[in-house]
């Protein structure tokens, strides 16, 4: 079974921070099923791995390290590493790839503050000293990943500025993590699940009249069908099919109340296979037929 991945591989956002040039190469959400092995590899850039759900093992050249939800690790340039997703839930990971290059023999940018330059230098030095071992995300860097991800996904006005600010927060908070006590509460997967629930319910409401399957919806938000069912249950208390049916029936009731078209027409416009199937579902749900519901709505005083 292959992992599910949602990648933004052509972002290529570049900006200057202090004495460094930063190039955001891509960031993605990846879901790895249990025992999925990402064999030894290395990068020429920095890669932040935030564990949003599940657990696993990070293997370096000379040691193995367990990780779990709420932790992160940083594999710097040239660090050889391997990752194994744990049991029974596998691993859900937020990953950021970024080039950080010192600016040499170049004058400071106009208006650049010395404190920002020093802050950037201290931060990168701390990250370089951090090492690749997993540690708790004590300073809540992970939510800033979600801020940047949502800005790009939703094409918000000023998304580039949002991503820049979020990336700097990720760097600063990751650098401070070893110095801080453990946070009282951290629910990175809950935040991501809520966001995905909002995305998929919006998608269903925009497309209820079309044939929609569980797999169609799961592909839309880049998760497995099993994960989507879990998100629907946890966040909305209903299954995917129940939510879709509810949306369709809401539209049916509205059309009946406005006395728009025949039952067959309404069925076709709201995603039901036929008028007879709509009749069956409607009666099972409300205890009366669509025609009877229409009559009741007509008889109500205006």
| 102-157 confidence digits (pLDDT tens) | 987 666 555 557 888 889 999 999 998 888 999 999 888 988 988 888 888 887 78
pLDDT at residue 180, as a whole number: 62
pLDDT tens digits, one per residue of 211-256:
889 998 888 887 888 888 988 988 888 899 999 999 999 999 989 9
Percentage with pLDDT > 90 across the chain: 41
pLDDT at residue 241, as a whole number: 93
- 79 confidence band (pLDDT: 50, 70, 90): very high
Report DSSP letters for the chain, one per residue.
Answer: -PPEEEE-TT--EEEEETTEEEEEEEEEEEEE-TT-EEEEE--SSEEEEEEEEEEEEEE-SS-EEEEETTEEEEE-TT--EEEEE-TTT-EEEEEEEEEEEE--S-PPPTT--HHHHHHHHHHHHHHHHH-SS-EE-TT--HHHHHHHHHHHHTT-TTHHHHHHHHHHHHHHHHHHGGGSPPPS---HHHHHHHHHHHHHHHHHHHHTTS---HHHHHHHTTS-HHHHHHHHHHHHSS-HHHHHHHHHHHHHHHHHHTT-S-HHHHHHHTT-S-HHHHHHHHHHHHSS-HHHHHHHHHHS--
**What rounded mean pLDDT belongs to the chain?**
85
- 3 confidence band (pLDDT: 50, 70, 90): very low
């Amino acid at each position: 079974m292959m992992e599910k991945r949602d990648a933004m591989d052509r972002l290529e956002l570049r900006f200057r921070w202090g004495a460094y040039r930063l190039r955001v190469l891509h960031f993605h959400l990846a879901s790895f099923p249990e025992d999925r092995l990402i064999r030894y590899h290395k990068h020429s850039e920095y890669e932040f791995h935030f564990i949003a759900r599940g657990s696993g093992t990070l293997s370096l050249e000379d040691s193995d390290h367990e990780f779990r939800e709420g932790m992160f690790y940083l594999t710097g340039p040239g660090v050889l590493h391997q990752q194994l997703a744990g049991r029974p839930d596998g691993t859900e990971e937020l990953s950021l790839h970024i080039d950080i290059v010192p600016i040499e023999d170049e004058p400071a940018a106009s208006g650049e503050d010395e404190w920002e330059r020093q802050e950037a230098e201290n931060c990168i030095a701390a990250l370089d000293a951090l090492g690749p071992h997993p540690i708790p995300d004590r300073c809540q860097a992970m939510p800033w990943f979600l801020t940047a991800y949502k800005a790009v996904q939703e094409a918000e006005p000023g998304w580039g500025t949002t991503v820049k600010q979020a990336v700097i927060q990720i760097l600063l908070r990751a650098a401070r993590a070893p110095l801080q006590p453990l946070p009282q509460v951290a629910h990175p997967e809950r935040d991501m699940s809520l966001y995905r629930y909002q995305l998929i319910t919006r998608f269903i409401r925009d497309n209820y009249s079309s044939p929609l399957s569980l797999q169609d919806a799961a592909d839309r938000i880049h998760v497995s069908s099993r994960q989507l069912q879990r998100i629907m249950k946890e966040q909305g208390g209903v299954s995917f099919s129940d939510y879709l049916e509810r949306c369709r029936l809401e539209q049916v009731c509205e059309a009946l109340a406005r006395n728009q078209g025949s039952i067959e027409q309404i069925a076709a416009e709201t995603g039901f296979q036929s008028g007879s199937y709509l009749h069956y579902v409607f009666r099972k749900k409300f205890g009366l037929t669509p025609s009877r519901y229409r009559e009741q709505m007509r008889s109500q005083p205006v």
